[in-house]
């Protein structure tokens, strides 16, 4: 059983790492093309979508389909939804305070951290609706579930003990690395600490409540939303 789970972890991380490397290599090209208004919005959006889908969704989907696993197995259930949501909002407080103190709150709009979100919302209907729904599914549900599934897989190999949660710890480190919170600047260090609290705390809550809706919610109202 553990060998199969380790294979799942390898698939998820391998696909994500390959996608991340592609993004690092082609970041300048992707960003320049995405901001070039002479190209149709759909074509500017596709490269960003493909990279993000690879980083957060593809490996996870391969594993879920391969194992014929249901999303309910990963906490997308009604039971304990309110404690999950309340707990995840609580551990998000340091992140919100950090953004407020550093004057980085730019108003509330889910997924505005993705640089094409506002362009998509200003596009003609139905592309605006379909585009924003796609963003919500990939950057919201997909990325939230990525951490939940990966943490659960890691915890199936390395059992959590009280407040020590190996899956949550590794996922928190991944989140810090992916978002480039590396350096000795005080602001970067504080941001990394608040991100660690948010990711570790939310995944610990998922483990304790058995519910993952709070983990999904923070990607809609906290992560890239403020």
Among 129, 168, 126, 173, CA closest to 150:
168
Return phi, psi of residue 84, to 5°.
-65, -45
Instruction: Say how far apart CA 172 and CA 169 lie, in whole Å.
Output: 5
Quick: pLDDT tens for 164-191: 999 999 999 999 888 766 666 788 889 8
CA distance 135 to 53: 10
Confidence grade of residue 47 (pLDDT, cut at 50, 70, 90): very high
Q: What pTM value is reported for the model?
A: 0.92
Ranges 27-36, 51-60, 171-180, 192-201: which has the least confidence? 171-180
Percent of the chain with pLDDT strictly greater than 90: 76
User: What are the domain boundaries of the chain?
Assistant: 2-221
Is the Cβ–Cβ distance between 29 and 43 less than 8 Å?
A: no
* Residues recorded for the chain: 226
Burial class (CB in 10 A: 0-12, 13-18, 19+), 96: middle
Distance CA(36)–CA(217), nearest Å, equals 32
Q: Give the mean model confidence (pLDDT) for residues 43-58.
A: 95
User: What digits encode the pLDDT tens for the residues 83-119?
Assistant: 999 999 999 999 999 988 988 777 788 888 889 999 9
């Amino acid at each position: 059983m553990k060998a199969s789970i380790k294979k799942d972890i390898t698939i998820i991380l391998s696909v994500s790492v390959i996608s991340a490397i592609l993004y690092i290599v082609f970041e300048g090209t992707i960003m320049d093309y995405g901001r070039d208004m002479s190209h149709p919005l759909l074509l500017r959006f596709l490269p960003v979508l493909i990279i993000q889908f690879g980083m957060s969704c593809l490996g996870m989907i391969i594993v879920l389909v391969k194992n014929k696993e249901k999303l309910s197995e990963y906490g997308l259930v009604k039971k304990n939804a309110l404690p999950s949501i309340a707990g995840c909002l609580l551990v998000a407080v340091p992140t919100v305070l950090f953004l407020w103190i550093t004057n980085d709150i730019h108003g509330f709009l889910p997924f505005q951290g993705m640089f094409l979100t506002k362009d998509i919302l200003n596009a003609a209907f139905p592309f605006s609706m379909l585009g924003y729904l796609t963003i919500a599914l990939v950057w919201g549900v997909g990325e939230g579930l990525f951490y939940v599934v990966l943490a659960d897989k890691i915890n199936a190999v390395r059992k959590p003990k009280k407040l020590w949660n190996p899956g949550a710890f590794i996922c928190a480190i991944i989140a810090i690395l992916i978002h480039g919170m590396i350096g000795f600047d005080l602001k970067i260090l504080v941001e990394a600490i608040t991100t660690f609290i948010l990711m570790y705390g939310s995944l610990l809550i998922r483990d304790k409540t058995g519910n993952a809706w709070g983990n999904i919610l923070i990607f809609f109202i906290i992560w890239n939303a403020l």
